[in-house]
């Protein structure tokens, strides 16, 4: 069975594929088809302020989490998504938080540069919601840490 699958895979990969060229409509220059619209600038002041707010809120949240963990022996991380990182220490938590924030902002940049108006207008919603969540978590940690 494994030999048959391997042979079928080799045949499919090695065999030539037929390709049809796209037909260019009459009266349209080929160069006009290949040119793209100028890209929108997505990394403006609003974008970087949103990214900075998200990053700062994540750092404060993570720092207050570890401050509480030092003072309170019965306290634990209640967030099931963050718990594995917190249990591994601050370096892993900060690295995972930064990676997550970078991913969120990369997706927000794609949304901001999108051709679809809905995405262009709502690129900021997720980063701001995450910033608010981090701020609320940091405030909660500060209250618990008293």
Residue 137 lies in a domain: yes
pLDDT of residue 146: 75
Q: How many domains does the chain have?
A: 1
Q: Is the pLDDT of residue 42 over 70?
A: yes
Residue 23 lies in a domain: no
pLDDT of residue 37: 63
Residue 120 lies in a domain: yes
Mean pLDDT, range 115-139, rounded to an integer: 95
Residue 20 lies in a domain: no
Residue 28 lies in a domain: no
pLDDT of residue 116: 92
pLDDT in tens, 47-104: 999 999 999 999 999 999 999 999 888 888 888 998 999 999 999 999 999 999 999 9
pLDDT of residue 74: 87
What DSSP letter does each residue of 90-146 carry, written as one string? HHHHHHHHHHHHHHHHHHHHHHHT-SSHHHHHHTTHHHHHHHHHHHHHHHHHHHHT-
Residue 35 lies in a domain: no
Q: pLDDT over 70 for what percent of the chain?
A: 74
- What residue numbers bound the domain in which 119 lies? 45-144
Residue 14 lies in a domain: no
Residue 27 lies in a domain: no
């Amino acid at each position: 069975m494994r030999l048959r699958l391997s042979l079928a895979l080799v045949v499919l990969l090695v065999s030539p594929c037929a390709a049809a060229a796209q037909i260019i409509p009459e009266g349209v220059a080929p160069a006009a088809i290949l040119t793209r619209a100028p890209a929108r600038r997505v990394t403006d002041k609003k974008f970087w302020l949103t990214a900075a707010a998200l990053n700062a809120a994540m750092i404060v949240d993570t720092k207050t989490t570890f401050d509480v963990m030092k003072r309170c022996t019965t306290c634990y991380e209640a967030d099931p998504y963050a718990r594995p990182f917190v249990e591994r220490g601050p370096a892993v938590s900060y690295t995972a938080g930064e990676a997550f924030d970078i991913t969120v902002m990369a997706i927000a940049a794609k949304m901001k540069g999108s051709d679809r108006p809905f995405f262009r207008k709502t690129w900021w919603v997720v980063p701001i919601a995450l910033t608010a969540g981090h701020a609320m978590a940091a405030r909660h940690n500060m209250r618990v840490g008293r």
